[in-house]
Amino acid sequence: MKQRILSGIKPTGRPHLGNYFGAMRQFVDMAGEFETFVMVANYHALTTVHNKDVLVSDTKDLILDYLALGLRDKGAAIFLQSDIPEHTEMAWVFECLTTVPYLMRAHAFKDAEGKGKEVSAGLFNYPLLMAADILLYQPDKVPVGKDQAQHIEYARDTAEKFNRIFGEAFRVPEAHIQSEGSTVPGLDGKKMSKSYNNTIPLFATDEEIDRAVALIVTDSKKPDEPKSTQGDTLYALHSLVSPHDLPMITKAYEEGGMGYKDLKALLAQNIKTMVAPLRERRAALAEDPHIIEETLAHGRDTVRPIAQETMRKARELIGVVW
């Protein structure tokens, strides 16, 4: 029996190289070895997206992105969070087990509060919907980027608490976090994130790639001067995108001999080489008018019985059926 993994990404804007190297690539790499469930977290997106047309188009786009990466060909089930009503049902049960002070420690909540944002109840409870997303499927591992580690801890704690109070219903899953390049830096050196506007989109056009790479912040060292690889955004991106050229690039950093202009041109070229076949594949898939519905139907049929079975057991254990 294969072990199971489950993960998800919110359909909020175009995925970027941070999402790809931090999360999506792992799903594809692991899909052969593990039974793989990948969720489009549209109810989580609702914490920030309040526009029907935007949500619909970002949802469809993310499904095409996953298909273009070859996730379905590797056997993964791709499903929509809102197609499985057990997620919100389970989340309510978890909300009744969880204290407010514990949820107040969540980074995402503290961040939003710190910035003086109005925090919705949905954003506050976000970790518990995510716990439901995960625990309903009894996965062994949850592959995510480093910034999601705390959310996985919430899911683990919630599973343990439920099991202790009501009896065994949930497997306690492990986070699976890529250690190499665990936080991909954005153009400005901060974490690459849609919310910081510092991204290189994964399915960018060649022009977009050139424009983004030109904006990568560097210091003002001359071409022949040695440069520091530590904390250098351009180097960090090369180490993900340019594995074949990396010995040469590292040498150029340590000993000098290559300017940032050339290092950027090489990065842009290597991103294009990586992205071009994905982009073509995505365009071809987008021609098929049924592909999204068909993918979601397959995902729904694959995963729902598992969620229903866990929910049935949980309902019995808490005493709403007997």
What residues make contact with ligand TRP under the rule CB under 6 A?
Answer: 6-10, 41, 44, 130, 133-134, 142, 144, 148, 151
Size of the site for ligand ADP (CB under 6 A): 17
* Among ligand TRP, ligand ADP, none, residue 95 binds (CB under 5-8 Å by kind): none
DSSP characters for 7-48? EEE---S--BHHHIIIIIHHHHHHHTTSEEEEEE-HHHHTTT
Interacting span for ligand ADP (CB under 6 A) from 84-92, 113-121, 139-147, 206-214: 139-147
Q: Which DSSP symbol is given to 191?
A: B
Residue 191 binds to ligand ADP (criterion: CB under 6 A): yes
Alpha carbon distances (Å) from 255 to 168, 218, 248, 264: 59, 17, 10, 17
Residue 81 binds to ligand ADP (criterion: CB under 6 A): no
Residue 155 binds to ligand ADP (criterion: CB under 6 A): no
List the one residue out of 62, 154, 142, 141 whose CA is nearest residue 108. Answer: 154
The residue number with the shortest CB distance to ligand TRP is: 8
Distance (Å, rounded) from C-alpha 135 to C-alpha 97? 15
Distance (Å, rounded) from C-alpha 65 to C-alpha 12? 13
* Among ligand TRP, ligand ADP, none, residue 195 binds (CB under 5-8 Å by kind): ligand ADP
Residue where the block lists tokens 């995402």: 108
Residue 47 binds to ligand ADP (criterion: CB under 6 A): no
Residue 239 binds to ligand ADP (criterion: CB under 6 A): no
Point out which residues bind ligand ADP (CB under 6 A). 9-10, 18-19, 22-23, 144-145, 147-148, 183-184, 191-195
